[in-house]
Amino acid sequence: MELNELKNILIDCDKQLEEKDWIEVERKLNYNIPLELKKFYNQSNGGIVNGNLFLMNGNERIEIRAFIPTRYNKFCPDDPDSTMEGTTLAEKTNPTIGSDELIVGVAWDGKRICVNAGTGGVNFYPVIGFNNDDCVYGTPIFISSSFDQFLSMLKYEPEESDDNLIREERMSKKKLQIEISAKKLSSEDWLEFEENTKFNLPTTMKNFYLKNNGGMPNLNLFSPQDEDMDEVEINIFLPIKYPLKGVQTIEETSRSLWERNMISKSFLPFAIDSGNNLYAIHNKTLCIYYIVMDIWRNEWSCEENFKANSTKIASSFRYFITHLIPEE
């Protein structure tokens, strides 16, 4: 695929880059960005693939979901990790990915598309797990010796009806806003909360709650990472320390459910749907689970019931919060 062809199939590209942006990015990353990659980003500052863009790696078909903008992500303007610059900085100390890798895109199966700042070569890194809120990457897959060669390997199939694209378009129309929040939290409130619950929670969740202490989201649907699952609805995020009218705090809700043995103590519920089913974070994996409260069989053990009523829907709080979408 030629560079000018790629421009025509990327939608929702971000703000055009200027030379001063590249100077600042290279200064922060302490890399000279490969010229082929600069040329691509000067044409399209990231973007979501409109249709099916893929390459064949042996017998494996790898479909490209999106290219990450170098800077200026309009979907997540307050999250530096949503740009190539921010993600690369954040992953520099990650021992499971090369220190010279620039993370420029993501495939539909979660693989990260990386360009090596030294060689210019392209590698794909599969995500095999999570450590707190950080990705754990598997063995890199060599794709090409240059970014131009990578582009030449890409093939495109237009698709008139793409559910994933529709979801992205719905995401792009609105920014997440929380209404009717409880009293604003201080950093000391958060530390006290973690001490009381004995949960060491991800920074993304802390930042979210310091900005919005619970409340009702305008983007009230979530599409699970498992594409076979239906969208689920979020009615309200539970507050911390300071209750809302008719809504208990996370601590009150958790302790009540733990004491009655209704959920595992590995789960900390932070949101509910309109049927009082729970959204909870796991204390070790920090993955997000959907817990259905009306599934319980007396002939089963608590552990068997916990397993039956809880379903993993997101690999991290960051993924969960950035993939909320509005109702159509």
- pLDDT over 50 at 47, yes or no: yes
- pLDDT over 50 at 160, yes or no: no
Instruction: Give the Å distances, CA to CA, from 322 to 8, 249, 268.
Output: 26, 23, 20
State residue 285's pLDDT score: 78
Extents of the domains making up the chain: 3-165, 174-325
The count of other CB atoms within 10 Å of the CB of residue 18 is 11
313 alpha carbon, distance to own chain's centre: 12
Average pLDDT over residues 176-180: 85
State residue 171's pLDDT score: 46
Of the ranges 132-136, 277-281, 313-317, which one carries the lowest mean pLDDT score?
132-136
State residue 177's pLDDT score: 85
- pLDDT over 90 at 51, yes or no: no
The answer to whether 303 and 197 have CB atoms below 8 angstroms apart is: no
State residue 209's pLDDT score: 92
**Res. 172 pLDDT band, cuts 50 70 90:** very low
Q: Which residues pair with 223 in a beta bridge?
A: none
Q: Where are the alpha helices (DSSP H) in the chain?
A: 3-7, 19-29, 35-43, 84-91, 147-153, 163-173, 187-197, 203-211, 250-259, 302-309, 317-322
Enter the tokens of residue 219. 């983007």
State residue 170's pLDDT score: 47
Average pLDDT over residues 255-269: 88
The count of other CB atoms within 10 Å of the CB of residue 20 is 8
- pLDDT over 50 at 161, yes or no: no
Average pLDDT over residues 104-110: 85
State residue 164's pLDDT score: 47
State residue 132's pLDDT score: 62
Instruction: Give the Å distances, CA to CA, from 24 to 32, 36, 110, 252.
Output: 11, 18, 28, 46
What is this structure's pTM? Answer: 0.52
Contacts of 295 (CB under 8 A, 6+ apart): 305, 308, 309
Asked if CATH classification 2.40.50.100 holds for the domain at 174-325, the reply, yes or no, is no
pLDDT, mean over the chain: 84
The answer to whether 130 and 285 have CB atoms below 8 angstroms apart is: yes
Identify which of 42-46, 94-98, 304-308 has the greatest average pLDDT. Answer: 42-46
CATH of domain 3-165: 3.40.1580.10
State residue 165's pLDDT score: 40
* Cα pseudo-dihedral 263, 264, 268, 274, rounded to 10: -20
State residue 133's pLDDT score: 58
In the three-class reduction of DSSP (H, G, I as helix; E, B as strand; rest coil), residue 11 is classed as: strand
State residue 227's pLDDT score: 63
- pLDDT over 90 at 201, yes or no: no
* Cα pseudo-dihedral 308, 313, 316, 318, rounded to 10: -140
> What does the DSSP 8-state code read for residue 302?
H
User: Is the fold of 3-165 the same as that of 174-325?
Assistant: yes
- pLDDT over 70 at 119, yes or no: yes
